[in-house]
Amino acid sequence: QQPVQSPQAVILREGEDAVINCSSSKALYSVHWYRQKHGEAPVFLMILLKGGEQKGHEKISASFNEKKQQSSLYLTASQLSYSGTYFCGTETGNTGKLIFGQGTTLQVKP
């Protein structure tokens, strides 16, 4: 079942912070975060494993609440380059199969 992302869209000024949430109705094994620019392929940002560390981007952090089956992506001091659509991909076991949320569109303005 597809995870649910919130908000669907957010507009920021440069330097502001944003949080994007990803919720699943199933127990999660891992959460993967991607960013996609218009007309391009999704690019990997962050992976969080159940009971493990997070690994990914320097200026972007994330959390994984295993009890609530939720993950949040934290974008601090946003830059123009952060604009794009953010997707979470979830795995319910070590299956190798990711199911993606519908995406959150982030626009950073000068």
Partner 1 sequence: NAGVTQTPKFQVLKTGQSMTLQCAQDMNHNSMYWYRQDPGMGLRLIYYSASEGTTDKGEVPNGYNVSRLNKREFSLRLESAAPSQTSVYFCASRSGGAYDTQYFGPGTRLTVL
Give Cα 18 to chain centroid, integer Å: 11
Smallest gap from Cβ 1 to partner 1, in A, equals 9
Smallest gap from Cβ 44 to partner 1, in A, equals 5
For residue 26, state whether it binds partner 1 (rule: CB under 8 A).
no
Smallest gap from Cβ 36 to partner 1, in A, equals 9
Nearer to partner 1, 16 or 66 (CB): 66
Residues from 53 through 92 that contact partner 1 (CB under 8 A): 55, 87, 89
